[in-house]
Structure 1
Amino acid sequence: MNNIITLFEDEETSRIKYISFIGESNTRFDLAIIQTERFFGKQLVINIQSGITAIIGQDDLEEPGFLKETFHLNEKEAKELYQYLIQVI
């Protein structure tokens, strides 16, 4: 373990928003959205159920298929997640 090289180690105060909702597809979303200075204005979005984490900004939300592929959702679920995230990111 003597070969560990620390690239950086920072500490900051972050704001975390927890949200749980069910859309028309009856899919439950349990999310943690972390606002931090680390990712150039983007937010860290964690799907608590699946453990999938993504760094998301407005530009990512507008990328076709981004939410569907990242969070392994169908079209309807991705649209519901988009409708929520577009309001908070």
Structure 2
Amino acid sequence: MPLNPGIDIRVKLEDIHYSEKYTDGLYEYRHIHCPKDLGKSLKEVGLMSEKQWRAFGIQQSVGWEHFMIHEPEPHILLFRRKLSDVKL
């Protein structure tokens, strides 16, 4: 399923790498490394909705938001969720 019309990104699950989670007291964060060769395409897609990143193959619990594009390395996706949404 294309993330945007005209852009078809397919990735193997074993090529997606998840960071450890870290917090700042308000949010929990994690970054997800995708294959470098997808950087340009991911930059064109922009910030993804949950439906889009799940279609891409990213697997994580509910509540995560793709909130930032790291311009120097667009293949690294930055996610966050409010700590108040985290079930302990």
TM over 0.5: no
Q: TM-score, normalising length from structure 1?
A: 0.31
Larger radius of gyration: 1
Q: TM-score, normalising length from structure 2?
A: 0.31
